[in-house]
Amino acid sequence: MKRAAFKMKLKPGYVTEYKKRHDEIWPELSSQLNAAGVSDYSIFLDEETLTLFAVQKLTDNNASDLLSQTAIVKRWWAYMADIMEVNPDNSPISIALKEVFHLD
């Protein structure tokens, strides 16, 4: 099992809406993430900077790199684009984080 972490940025004024949308995550999106080998996925918010920190576990043979090509992920990105900083294709601007410490 691998771990991946990354950060994204929320637009001001959308903390409640971001949480609401994730509390109501589409079942087909959850299924697609699980099928790609993503599990134990958490997103944390630094309310001072509106930076989102995401952490997920990936199976050794995961297909997470292919998620961006799926219709459901593209639809989710379009749904979230109004409240997050995004790229021209609506994907969230995401910066991978380097793991420097882990304790089981």
Helices (H) and strands (E) in the chain, counts: 3, 4
- Note if 22 is an active site residue: yes
State how far the Cα of 58 lies from the Cα of 11, in Å rounded to an integer.
Answer: 28
- Taken as a whole, the chain contains a residue count of 104
Catalytic residue among 20, 22, 28, 66: 22
Catalytic residues: 22
